[in-house]
Amino acid sequence: MSYVPPKELRQLLAVLADGELSEEQECRLAEILRRDPQARTYYLDSIALWTSLHWEYAAAGSDEASGPVPPFRSRRRLPFLVVAAAGLGSLAAVLLLALPLFRPPPPPAVVSAPEQAEPIDVNVARLMQAPGAEWEKNGLTAQPGASLPAGWVHLRSGMAQIQFYSGATVILEGPADVQLISPQEAYCARGKLRATIPHQACGFTIGSPKLKLVDLGTEFGLRVDESAQTEVHVFQGKVKVYGAGSGQAEASQRELTAGHGLRVDESGMAHVIVPEPSTFPTAQQLAHLAEQESRRRYQAWLAASERLRQDPRLLLYYTFQTDRPWDRILPDRVKGRQTPLDGTIVGCEWTNGRWPGKQALEFKSPGDRVRIYVPGEYDAITLMAWVCLDSLENRYNGLLVTDSWGDGYLQWQIRQDQMLYMSMERRPGEHDQLASPPIMGPAHLGRWTHLAAVYNRPAGTAQHYVNGRAVSVHGLLYPHKVQFRFAAIGNWGAPKPGHPNRICNLNGRMDEFALFKQALEAQEIRDLYEIGKPNP
C-alpha cells in the first residue's frame, strides 16, 4: 500500500518550498522526520522533485524577465535538519544533511542589448485639492492634480488635501509646515491636520517634535503649535504613540483608541484630553470649499473672456462653449466680425472643461479634429490653448497644423519626446524647426495646461510658453510671413505626401483656443494664464 503523507507534513513542506518556514515549524518538521521513516523518504523525494522542477524552469524560462518563481525561493539554511538526521541511517543521514544545504544555483544571467531606461515616478504623493491655499515660496508649490516629491510643504493659509501613494490622506489647514518623507511617512513641524488611513496604508507614520504616531488603520487629528505643544485626537480606530526620538521602542509606546486624546505640553508632560472632531477639517468641507472656489474662478474667467473677445488683435477665438451640442459647429467668438471663422467639429465629443459648467472637446481617435480656415498673411502671430493631455502616443501630436506646406505655413505640435514644436518652411531647404526642451512630461498628463507660442518675423524670434512662463526662445534662420488658410486643430490638416508619421491626433481635451495677429508680450501671456487657470 502506497504511503499517504499526513496533511501536516504536506503543509510544512509547502511552506518550506516557499521559504517561509518559521522556527516553530522547523522544530515540528524535524520531529516528524525523526519519528517516521516513510516521512523521511517522502521528504527526500520532494527535495528531488523540487530540484528537477527548478532546473527545468531554468532551462525553459531563462529568456523571460518575468514568470513563475521557482522552488527554493529562500536561501537560508535549515538547522532543524541536522537534528532530524541524528536518528537516521548513514546514507539517509548524509542525504538529509547535504540536500537542505544545497540550493540550485540561479538560472544563468541573460545578457541583452542595453535598453533606454523606463521613466520612473519618484514622487510620494499627489495634491488633490487646495481651496484658498497660499504657499510659502521656500517649499513645494503645486496646482491640484500635481504629483509631489519628497520635501517640505509650507502652507501659509487655506487648506490642502494630500493623498500619499500608500493610500493615506492628509488634510492640512494653514499655517502648516509638513515634510513629505515617503509614501508611508510624513513629519509635521507645525500646523493642524486630519489623517485618514485606510487598511491598505496601515502603519503610516507621522512624526512631530514631541511624538511619533504609527497608525493602525484609522482617522485622527494632529495639532502642533508654535511652541511644539502637540495634541492627538483619535476619531476612529487605533493609533500607536511613541515619544519623539525613541524610535519605536516598546517602552515608549502607548495606544490611543477612538474617543481618546493626548496633549504633550512644552515640558514633555502628557495630559489626557477629549477629542474634538469638529475642529479639524473634513474631506466633505474641503470639497464644498473647492466647489465654491471653482464657481468663482469660472465666473472670473467668463468676465475676462468677454473682454478678450473685443481685442482687435484677435484673428479667431474658440471658447468651446455651445448650447447646441448636436451641431458640429465650433463658434468663433470674436466680436464685431461680419463673417465669423467658425470651425467644423469632426469626430470629437463634448465633455467637461476646466470647471463645472465649462465645456470642452475631447480628441481621441485619429479622425478627431476641428477644421478651420484663416485667411491672410501676418508678420507675427500668437497661438494660445488650454489642453488636458491623456498621453503623447504619437510621434507628433497636433495642436494647429495647416493642410499646406512651404510658403510660410505654420505647424504647432507636441512631440512624443515631450518637446513643444513649431515648424515653418519658407521654400524647400529653408526650414525653421523650433523645438523647446523636453517639458511636457508625465507631470502634465491629466492636468489642464496653458500653452502659448509666439512667432515674430520682424524681431527674428519665436518662443514657447507653458503655464505663463517662457520655456524656450529661438532665433529664426528663415524669417517669413505666416499663413494658415485650411488647417486643423488637434490633428494634421493633411499629412505631407510621403511623411512617415501619418497619424498625429491629439489625445486629450481642449477648452479654449485663440489666435492673435500680433506677438503678445510675456506679461500678456502670463495674464491669460493667471485668469484662466483652474485653481489660484
Local confidence pLDDT in tens for the 536 residues of the chain: 567 788 788 878 877 876 677 777 777 788 788 778 888 888 877 776 665 555 444 444 444 333 333 444 433 434 334 334 334 443 344 344 333 433 344 444 444 444 555 566 788 999 988 888 888 865 555 678 788 999 999 999 989 999 999 999 999 998 999 999 999 999 999 999 999 999 888 889 999 998 999 988 889 999 999 888 999 999 999 999 988 766 555 545 788 999 999 999 888 888 999 999 999 988 888 889 888 888 999 999 999 999 999 999 999 999 999 888 888 999 999 998 888 899 999 999 999 999 988 999 999 999 999 999 999 999 999 999 999 999 998 899 999 999 887 788 889 999 999 999 998 887 777 788 899 999 998 888 888 999 999 999 999 999 999 999 999 999 988 888 999 999 999 998 666 666 666 788 899 999 999 999 999 999 999 999 999 998 76
Beta carbons within 8 Å of 76's beta carbon, 6+ residues apart: 19
The per-residue DSSP string of 307-359 comes to HHTT-TTEEEEE----S-TTS-EE----TT-SS---EEEES-EEEE-SSTT-E
Dihedral class, residue 509 (left if φ above 0, else alpha if ψ from -120 to 50, else beta): beta
Tell me, rounded to whole angstroms, the distance of Cα 276 from its chain centroid.
Answer: 34
Beta carbons within 8 Å of 301's beta carbon, 6+ residues apart: 354, 355, 358, 531, 532
Number of H helices, E strands in the chain: 7, 31
Taking CB atoms within 8 Å and a gap of at least 24, the contacts of 253-259 are 256/220, 256/232, 258/218, 258/234, 259/234
The yes/no answer on whether domain 299-532 falls in CATH 3.20.20.10 is no
The DSSP letter of residue 238 is E
End-to-end Cα spacing for the chain: 81
Give the ranges where 208-280 is alpha helix by DSSP (H): none
Residues carrying CATH 2.60.120.1440, the chain: 125-283
> Is-contact 474 370, C-beta < 8 A?
no
Q: What are phi and psi of 80, to 5 degrees?
A: -65, -25
Query: Distance (Å, rounded) from C-alpha 43 to C-alpha 10?
Result: 9
Average pLDDT over the chain, rounded to whole?
A: 82
Question: How many CB atoms sit inside 10 A of residue 377's CB?
Answer: 13
Record the pTM: 0.67
Which of 280, 351, 313, 316 shows the shortest CA–CA distance to 487? Answer: 316
Residues carrying CATH 2.60.120.200, the chain: 299-532
Q: What angle do CA 194, 197, 199 make, to 5 degrees?
A: 165
User: Which fold would CATH assign to domain 125-283?
Assistant: Jelly Rolls (2.60.120)
> Is-contact 386 518, C-beta < 8 A?
no
> Is-contact 354 532, C-beta < 8 A?
yes
pLDDT for 17: 72
CA distances from 221 to 31, 274, 279, 426, 445 (A): 52, 12, 9, 64, 33
- Collapsing DSSP to helix, strand or coil, 47 comes out as helix
- Collapsing DSSP to helix, strand or coil, 378 comes out as strand
Beta carbons within 8 Å of 153's beta carbon, 6+ residues apart: 135, 139, 140, 160, 162, 172, 176, 177, 178, 179, 180
